[in-house]
Amino acid sequence: MKYPLSPDVKPEFCTTGSFMRLPAERENVKVGLVGMPFDTAASFRVGARFAPQAIRQASMTLFPYHPVHDVYPFDDTNAIDIGDVPVIPHNIHRSYELMEEAVGALMDRGIVPIGIGGDHSVTLASLRAAAKRYGPVAMIHFDSHTDTWDTYYDEKYWHGSPFIRAYEEGLVDPKKVFQIGIRGTLNHPGDVQESKDLGYHVVTARELEHQGFSLILEQMKTAIGDTPCFLTFDIDFVDPSCAPGTGTLEVGGFSSRETLQMIRSLTGFNYVGFDLVEVLPAYDPTQITSLLAATIIHDFVSLVAVKTKRESLDTMIK
């Protein structure tokens, strides 16, 4: 049987519970989706633990071909969906260990993991897994917040601190970290500067609007090169008018069309992992947030498929 099953083969409402009805295993796998239903580290709204299944359900309406990249991403990568990590909702650190173990197991097989979150704290677990195998990685981070705030109520592990913890643990190469789309009110003027002080490249929403994404993309390609790279996407990068189902709403963001244009231009990087986080299905009865999240994940798989296709062509030429 050919996967994924598209809506014209089997009705959208006939689901197996996996992303686009992908199997849990097959041969020559290059991409593995894994759910991270964890939101214990959220500081305000909760409910992101229900995002993996909501995003999988929304994926039922997607078709298997990507017309921009001219690939069948899930077929070209033999993608699988291994289900959800069995997190422990009242134990942050044990949940991190379980998520790191699941992501690391995929990486050990040469599979690029795509995490379906969960609050943004889950990215720390994936970065730990990546750094153990590749050393400090580059990171492309789409968000309205830097998530480099040290503590909240004197707690160091929460969804606003994964990237200061990643810096402290040596999981990322600071010169190769780009935080894109930062906006919103702040506690004090130093909130953004603190991220820059770590050595991260911070691109605010205002700077992105004025400079254009093409210039930022060239800067990223120059700085990152072929370094193993992790891409993390917080859905609140998108304006709430297009993605209302999230935990910390920030107006003045980017449309879904603008967002997809940016994501689709990110070819040429050496991706070793992705995740998409902070979708809260209960706050969006229209399900457009989950649909956008599923579409972005479709694009993540397409980025890997493009790389796979180019490598195959290079091998044939040689």
The pLDDT, as a whole number, for residue 241 is: 98
| Position with higher pLDDT, 316 vs 271 | 271
Buried b (16+ CB within 10 A) or exposed e, 70-81: ebbbbebbbbbb
CB-based contact 284:81 (threshold 8 Å): no
pTM score of the predicted model? 0.95
CB-based contact 59:7 (threshold 8 Å): no
The pLDDT, as a whole number, for residue 318 is: 64
Q: What percent of the chain has pLDDT over 90?
A: 86
CB-based contact 121:38 (threshold 8 Å): yes
Average pLDDT over residues 41-63: 95
The pLDDT, as a whole number, for residue 10 is: 73
pLDDT tens sequence across 238-277:
999 999 999 999 999 999 999 999 999 999 999 999 999 9
3-state secondary structure of 298: helix
What is the average pLDDT value for the chain, to the nearest integer?
A: 94
Least confident interval from 13-17, 74-78, 130-134, 157-161: 13-17
CB-based contact 36:124 (threshold 8 Å): no
Q: What are residue 272's DSSP bridge partners?
A: none
| Position with higher pLDDT, 309 vs 96 | 96
Residue 172 belongs to what H/E stretch?
strand 172-182
Angstrom distance (rounded) from CA 147 to CA 286: 28
- pLDDT surpassing 60 at residue 1: no
CB-based contact 77:28 (threshold 8 Å): no
pLDDT tens sequence across 145-194:
999 998 887 889 989 999 999 999 999 999 999 999 999 988 888 889 99
Quickly state the pLDDT bin for 8 (edges 50, 70, 90). confident
